[in-house]
Structure 1
Amino acid sequence: MSIDRFEALRQFTAARIGLGRSGPGIATPDHLAFRAAHALARDAVHTELDLAALERSLVLLGLPVLRVESRAPDQQTYLTRPDFGRRLSDASATLLRDKAPGLEIAVLVAGGLSAFATASHAAELLALLAPALQRAGRTLGPICIAPRGRVALGDEVGALLGARLMLVLIGERPGLSSPDSLGAYITLAPRLGQTDADRNCISNIRPEGMLLTEAARRILWLTDQAMTRGISGVGLKDDSDRVLLTSEAAAASPALE
């Protein structure tokens, strides 16, 4: 009987390691598993976000929810014209322009490249974030939801709402073992023309990646630091782990006499 040397390792990773062979190709079970993962990734990209279902989940947080649209009228256009996903439609821009400005934190939840990720995790993550932000004395604006939005759509949303800080939750481009990965982007003083260098990103938020509780902790730390220090992006490093380790070490050490 042959011994599978990789069996013990597979419990620690979803990576395809030690695949079996059948002649010049991989074994049939591994081939079928690859095809299934590829199909899930394609479905994640081409499926549109169910706004009604998402809105039902978000209204439970007690915050107003606003539907907005990018300039991409359908999913095919959204995929082939990324620039359309970065700007609001004229009607949505007018809607937000008429809202009272001066919010501290605005939120955009977008389908991105995996509506499955957004539908699966965004509401649950916000259920952790919203009460914590409110306890910290931060005012949270309406939650805008967009089925076909890119990360940069948040710049225009935040600018029109007059927000000090923009939080974008968006479905990330799926991998062959991660069709449900959610990303969080934090941008101080959102405005048109900003780049990814102006944002902080927390990636791979999902049960098999970064747990929602850990993602919420990092988002809260980065949000507080961005608003306190007046910076975000490359100027703001995620040192939340260092702070956590320092706190744990202090708690474990005997009190000084």
Structure 2
Amino acid sequence: MEINRTVSADQWQFLQNYTPARIARGRAGHSLPTAELLKFQSDHAQARDAVYSEIQISSLQEAFMSNFKIEVLSLQSEVKSRSQYLQRPDLGRTISQISRETLSKKDASEADICFVIADGLSAKAINEHSFPFLQLLLPKLQADNWKIAPICIVEQGRVAIADEIGFLLKASIVVILIGERPGLTSADSMGAYITYQPQVGLTDESRNCVSNIRPEGLNYVLASEKIFYLLNEIKGKKISGVQLKDEMANYKIL
């Protein structure tokens, strides 16, 4: 029996001009064309690699300290291994006893804001995007005389780990930059979660989220403007999460 190996075009192919999502990739018989199948396998491998990537603590510490003149602390969650991180989300939400003692011993005075940098599900995203993003945001805050607590870099951390860190450092607002769950078109997406009056036990409705921070998504300029706006709203209104309505004018991704 003769097998038809002709690659058929898809009438929805024009949509590829508007999205990187896998749509209208053509067919070869009952499957994808070989080139598209290989691309899918490559993107899947990159997403898996991102989950197991490691945060470059020393490089980030050097970049932050030399450029921002802010103290940088290295902390850990209660997670002991990457496999445990994936199986026990609860441990990734809590700092280790050693890290807790480190923060408790800090002679921290009240600060307006604390930045936490965590690997999350893609340390690759943090390694690539956290510094260039903060290069735009931190000068805006410093120019407005925000009092900034030490920057905390956390290994094996999840979003809620920032609440205890911000509380121990006496920060009114905590921002955690974290690697988001990799997708087949974005293995390096960084998210930012913002919480007013952080404390242990808060849940997601207490936070504001700005996601997909990367050059191909919400670029650094637009992300820094959006978060700067939210931070000023939170500081002025003393609320965050679902209570805070985003009234910033519509913006367009460049």
Aligned to 2:134: 126
Correspondent of 1:43 among 35, 44, 49: 49
Deviations, residues 18-48 of structure 1 (Å, cap 9, x unaligned): 1221221111111111001100110011112
Q: Which has the higher helix share?
A: 1
Aligned to 2:97: 90
Aligned to 1:156: 164
How far 1:62 sits from its partner (Å)?
1.3
Correspondent of 2:18 among 12, 18, 28: 12
How far 1:7 sits from its partner (Å)?
4.7
Count of matched residue pairs: 244
Aligned to 1:235: 243
Aligned to 1:145: 153
Aligned to 1:70: 77
Equivalences for residues 237-256 of structure 1 within 5 A: 237-241=245-249
Correspondent of 1:33 among 11, 34, 39: 39
Q: Which amino acid aligns with 1:37?
A: D
Aligned to 2:68: 61
Distance (whole Å) between structure 1 residues aligned to residue 133 and residue 242 of structure 2: 24
Distance (whole Å) between structure 2 residues aligned to residue 3 and residue 119 of structure 1: 39
How far 1:9 sits from its partner (Å)?
3.2
Structure 2 SS opposite 1:34: helix
Structure 2 SS opposite 1:200: strand
Aligned to 1:135: 143
Aligned identity (percent) is: 43
Distance 1:178 1:239, change over 3 A: same
Q: Which amino acid aligns with 2:39?
A: A
Q: Which amino acid aligns with 1:166?
A: V
Q: Quick check: 2:213–2:219 contact (8 Å CA) kept in 1?
A: yes
Deviations, residues 109-129 of structure 1 (Å, cap 9, x unaligned): 000000010111001111111
Aligned to 1:253: none
**TM-score w.r.t. length of structure 1:** 0.91
Aligned to 2:206: 198
Distance 1:42 1:19, change over 3 A: same
Aligned to 2:176: 168
Distance (whole Å) between structure 2 residues aligned to residue 240 and residue 206 of structure 1: 20
* Residue 186 of structure 1 pairs with residue 194 of structure 2: yes
Q: Quick check: 1:114–1:174 contact (8 Å CA) kept in 2?
A: yes
Deviations, residues 62-118 of structure 1 (Å, cap 9, x unaligned): 111100000002211111111111000001001111112311101100000000101
Structure 1 SS opposite 2:21: coil
Q: Quick check: 1:130–1:140 contact (8 Å CA) kept in 2?
A: no
Q: Which moved more, 1:179-188 or 1:19-28?
A: 19-28
Q: Which amino acid aligns with 2:28?
A: S
* Residue 220 of structure 1 pairs with residue 237 of structure 2: no
How far 1:56 sits from its partner (Å)?
2.1
Distance (whole Å) between structure 1 residues aligned to residue 229 and residue 190 of structure 2: 18
Unaligned runs of 5+ in 2: 1-6
How far 1:5 sits from its partner (Å)?
4.3
Structure 1 SS opposite 2:23: coil
Unaligned runs of 5+ in 1: 246-257
Distance (whole Å) between structure 2 residues aligned to residue 160 and residue 108 of structure 1: 12
Distance (whole Å) between structure 2 residues aligned to residue 74 and residue 126 of structure 1: 28
Q: Which amino acid aligns with 1:197?
A: E
